[in-house]
Amino acid sequence: MSPTRFLFLAAVFAATFEKIHWSVAGSVTLSDVLSLAFIGSFALQLGARRTRALTQTAAVAIAFFALFLVCYLAGYFNLDSAQAVTQFWKGLLKFLVHFVFLVLTVVYLSRCSRRFYLRTLGWFTAGMVVNAAYGVVQELAARSGVNLDDLFVKPITGGASAINVYGIFENTQAIFRPNALTGDPNHLGIMLVLPLLVLTPLYLRLERGHRWRVRLGLVLTFLLLVEILTLSRSGVGGLGVGALLLVLPYRRRLFSRQVLLPLTVLAAGFVALIASDPAYFLKIISSRFQTGGGSTSAHFQVYDFIPAIVRSHPLFGLGLNNFSVYYEQVTGLVNWGPHSFYVALIVETGLVGTVLFAAFLAYLFVRCAFARALGRALAAAGDGGAAYLTPLAWGMTAALVGTLVANAFYLTMSFSYFYVFAALLLALPVVYGRALEPAAASALRPARPQVALGGAAGR
């Protein structure tokens, strides 16, 4: 395996490992380090080949990168303190690493085989499985009085971290929520929305006897188990909305043995667990249906800041990564984030940044639609790749919708894992479209001038 390929797969694998970070120029995660290493290695590789060939998808991604950069730099002129400037540059550096990685991932995967694309998706999923498994062990260890992070995370990062303590039951028994290698149990819950929704259609599509059918079923069941253990309302909400979208194309398979068996086993396990201590578990469950607590109020209250910022800085907002600075000036509370990706988007980047990001999301949905159309074309041409492309396209559409819903009260779409997902989404029709004849590929979209090198099938 080449160094570039190793660094790429390692960065994809570690995309959700938030806790593995160091306090350098803000917070540098393991994923950031590996992404930078891949960027450097692949850039040198591209320079050595002296090639300018780009797919249209990569060209559009570069255009979005340039527009985002101009928008964020314009917001720099709204900064009014040294602290604001520091926060701005921290946020901008994160954006640069994440979006450059996205662009180069699209370029890199466009030159690889379908098999390697599926391998990349597998490594991305494997990273989340490892993360979720750590969360389960973390909770079991916490119940025994052991902080697993002290044994595995602290020696690497030098910083303190621990499992989330949700509360105390009857003043005697601690209630834990696993955050695993993420920074928050809700982050873990929202991140798990991606593999659950992306891979479920593929699992349903695999024929009986396929060597990955049982394995994928076990993985999905385990990830759903951990999703429930996080007690994340945002994660479950996003998963539910995304699952509703999948009902449309897969409604005939919902009551199949393939679906009902793992769900029945999982439900029976939870019933047995609740029966072991009904008062304890029912208290936890009922608390997650309450909406009047301080945590819930904080999530809603941050939306109150939007009108004032739109009036004072309508076009480019307060400046990238500057909500906490403004919040501290208003309330006196430090290190308080916006608790919503959309609040951060509007407050920090203004109407221009919001419209631009909406356009980027619209482009992601367009690529999902194109991938589904491409899957139909491949099926008509007798290409076996349609068996993977169509379910993945539906799964990524549902996962994108679910993540958008879940981020109403969290900010995981600013994390590196979301950019990895976006890159996989954009690259999907590029990788699978190369097999079509140019005439067949061009028939899937309206005629338009060619704006980039790489051919119609490479779009």
435 has a pLDDT exceeding 80: no
Could you report the per-residue pLDDT of 62-114, keeping only the tens digit for each?
999 999 999 999 999 999 888 899 999 999 999 999 999 999 999 999 989 99
Residues 184 and 390: beta-carbon distance below 8 Å: no
Could you report the per-residue pLDDT of 391-413, keeping only the tens digit for each?
999 999 999 999 999 999 888 99
Q: What is the mean pLDDT of the chain?
A: 87
Query: What span, in angstroms and rounded, lies between the C-alpha atoms of 214 and 218?
Result: 6
- Within 10 angstroms of residue 192's Cβ, the number of other Cβ atoms is 29
Average confidence (pLDDT) over 423-449: 71
Tokens, residue 132:
């979720």
SS3 350: helix
Q: Which residue has the tokens 């939007």?
A: 306
Q: Where are the alpha helices (DSSP H) in 160-232?
A: 185-191, 193-205, 213-229
- Please report the pLDDT score of residue 440 as a whole number: 52
Q: In whole angstroms, what separates CA 142 from the centre of its chain?
A: 27
Residues 11 and 419: beta-carbon distance below 8 Å: no
With cut-offs at 50, 70 and 90, classify the pLDDT of residue 455. Answer: very low
Average confidence (pLDDT) over 189-217: 90
Domain count, the chain: 1
- Please report the pLDDT score of residue 292 as a whole number: 58
- Please report the pLDDT score of residue 291 as a whole number: 64
Range of the domain at 96: 3-458
283 has a pLDDT exceeding 90: no
- Please report the pLDDT score of residue 165 as a whole number: 87
Could you report the per-residue pLDDT of 2-56, keeping only the tens digit for each?
999 999 999 999 999 999 999 876 789 999 999 999 999 999 988 877 666 788 9
- Within 10 angstroms of residue 36's Cβ, the number of other Cβ atoms is 17
- Please report the pLDDT score of residue 459 as a whole number: 37
**pLDDT: is 207 or 296 the higher one?**
207
Burial class of residue 137 (count of CB atoms within 10 Å of its CB; 0-12, 13-18, 19+): middle
255 has a pLDDT exceeding 60: yes
Q: Residue 168 pairs with which residues in a beta bridge?
A: 174
State pTM to two decimals: 0.90
* Sequential DSSP letters for 276-318: HSHHHHHHHHHHTT---SHHHHHHHHGGGHHHHHHHHSTTT-S
Segment holding 168, helix H or strand E? strand 164-169
Query: What span, in angstroms and rounded, lies between the C-alpha atoms of 270 and 398?
Result: 26
Rg for the chain, CA atoms, rounded? 23
146-152, long-range: CB < 8 A, 24+ apart: 149/19
